[in-house]
Chain A
């Protein structure tokens, strides 16, 4: 790895294939009865931590076919609504600063048990409306003390990629919880990731 990129392992190799899959939208807000809070503990039962049990229950609750190989699983936590995609430019600079600080201060999301459940189901992409897609609570940890362990165990260990900061507002308004999901990273040589704009068709 150099300052000019990851050498042989840049995102252009993922971009060569791209992501085309059944997108599954897990509605954490409906499941919890409100936006998921930033976790305050390491417990799987913490409302800000989406565990393996939570994932199974959400799929069942939403009447979805079980998660299967090749799926792209996306989590709506409500935390992303702090960065309101429709109203952002109506906020004052001070309000924006306040919201940015709140948004960045931590996040609800998948705990390691949730991620490893998805890995066993052989998904190809996980993502959310947050900046990191996994639970970031006290000391930046989730179910365990290691910060960003889903990043490590999904991406570094298993090559299962993550997409962040998604806007699910139209899918939620239309109650579209599974859909054709299409997205590719840009073919940027040596990059670790990519900006982009996924498309959901339903």
Chain B
């Protein structure tokens, strides 16, 4: 077959398969189960955070009894675990990034961040 004939043949095969009902596997649950619109309406973009009401915030504030603070994040660093193609690479461009300015020879440093997060 010529290249063009093989393309036409392939197209006819895919079309035929769709028409015959043995289409490519597709998960239609979002449509058949009507996942949208959500309870917050078709224009909502925020999701579950819509639930938070002032009385919930005040009730949660009452849980602060000891005056203690814990931060729950882990450290972002180049050799931390990351899945797939994710990663974190931080450099200080220029070192220093800018300056010196003025009689005091002020310099400043920025972060240049290349990261893929999920």
> What count of chain B residues pass the 8 Å CB interface test?
41
**B49 interface hit (Cβ, 8 Å):** yes
The segment out of A33-41, A54-62, A109-117, A190-198 that lies at the interface is: A190-198
Cross-chain contact B35 with A179 (CB below 8 angstroms): no
Cross-chain contact B66 with A202 (CB below 8 angstroms): yes
**A147 interface hit (Cβ, 8 Å):** no
Residue of A nearest to B36 (CB): A157
Which residue numbers of A lie inside 8 Å of B, CB to CB?
8-9, 13-14, 16-23, 69-70, 82-83, 85, 88, 93, 96, 99-100, 103-104, 122-125, 131, 155-161, 164-168, 170-171, 174, 176, 178-181, 192-202
Main DSSP-derived SS at the B contact region: loop
Chain A nearest CB, measured from B90 CB (Å)? 12
Which residue numbers of B lie inside 8 Å of A, CB to CB?
30, 33, 35, 38, 40, 44-53, 56-57, 59-61, 63-66, 68-77, 79-81, 83, 115, 117-118
Cross-chain contact B48 with A161 (CB below 8 angstroms): yes
Known interface pairs A8-B45, A83-B74, A197-B71; A70-B51 also in contact (CB < 8 Å): yes
- What's the Cα separation between A157 and B37 when bound, in Å? 10
Known interface pairs A167-B72, A198-B71; A159-B81 also in contact (CB < 8 Å): no
- What's the Cα separation between A158 and B69 when bound, in Å? 31
Chain A nearest CB, measured from B86 CB (Å)? 9
Cross-interface CB contact of A17 among B30, B46, B63, B71, cutoff 8 Å: B46
